[in-house]
């Protein structure tokens, strides 16, 4: 068995791209795809440096983000990510503004630590910085857990033998790990 990995933030159509399967966040899957969770639920959080909150008000609700500089994320398609929030069944998407736009979420932590603006990043990326006081988490009650990463593949009758073996390996690894 050989595996080819192509990493891309774009929402790739695995069938037209010639791939047997892909990995994507669970909520972004097409209806005609079979989906298998391969990781835990993930949570995005809003964080900023303590110094930022000496210059700007600490947001109490997502609409307050318009009064604070934010670090934005641009997808490969060119569109800007709208920060997603949910509380008590109310879902919001907020288009934020700020002095810095990045094409990689992983690059957002350093400017947030420097006080450039608020960042909306995966909680696991900033847990240590929150624990040691270098970053402050805000809007905690608006940031629920989302489905984690899923292996997805077309719902066709004949799954290639190699993909079938990989699916079984993934299921077994998830059960033991």
Q: Are residues 138 and 65 in the same domain?
A: yes
Query: What CATH code is carried by the domain that includes residue 74?
Result: 3.40.190.290
pLDDT tens-digit map of 104-134: 999 999 999 999 999 999 999 999 999 999 9
Range of the domain at 104: 42-145
Q: Are residues 37 and 75 in the same domain?
A: no
**Domains contained in the chain, number:** 2
Q: Are residues 77 and 11 in the same domain?
A: no
Q: Are residues 129 and 164 in the same domain?
A: no
Q: Are residues 48 and 120 in the same domain?
A: yes
Q: What is the mean pLDDT of residues 139-166?
A: 85
Q: Are residues 132 and 56 in the same domain?
A: yes
How far apart CA 25 and CA 42 sit, in angstroms, is: 9
Query: What proportions of the chain, in percent to the nearest 5, are helix, strand and coil?
Result: 30, 30, 45
Q: Which helix (H) or strand (E) holds 71?
A: strand 71-73
pLDDT tens-digit map of 50-100: 999 999 999 999 999 999 999 999 988 899 999 999 999 999 999 999 999
Q: Are residues 88 and 98 in the same domain?
A: yes
């Amino acid at each position: 068995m050989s595996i080819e990995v192509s990493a891309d933030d774009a929402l790739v159509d695995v069938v037209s791209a010639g791939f047997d399967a892909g990995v994507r966040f669970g909520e972004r899957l097409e209806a005609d795809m079979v989906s298998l969770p391969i990781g835990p639920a993930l949570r995005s959080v809003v964080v900023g440096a303590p110094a930022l909150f000496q210059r700007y008000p600490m947001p109490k609700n997502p609409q307050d983000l318009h009064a604070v500089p934010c670090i934005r994320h641009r997808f490969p398609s060119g569109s800007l990510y709208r920060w997603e929030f949910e509380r008590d069944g109310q879902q919001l998407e907020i288009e934020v503004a700020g002095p810095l736009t990045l094409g990689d979420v992983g690059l957002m932590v350093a400017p947030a630590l420097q006080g450039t603006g608020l960042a909306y990043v995966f909680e696991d990326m900033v847990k240590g910085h929150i624990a040691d006081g270098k970053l402050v988490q805000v809007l905690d009650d608006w940031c629920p857990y989302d489905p984690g990463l899923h292996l997805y593949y077309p719902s066709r009758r004949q799954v290639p033998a190699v993909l079938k073996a990989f699916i079984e390996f993934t299921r077994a690894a998830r059960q033991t790990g």
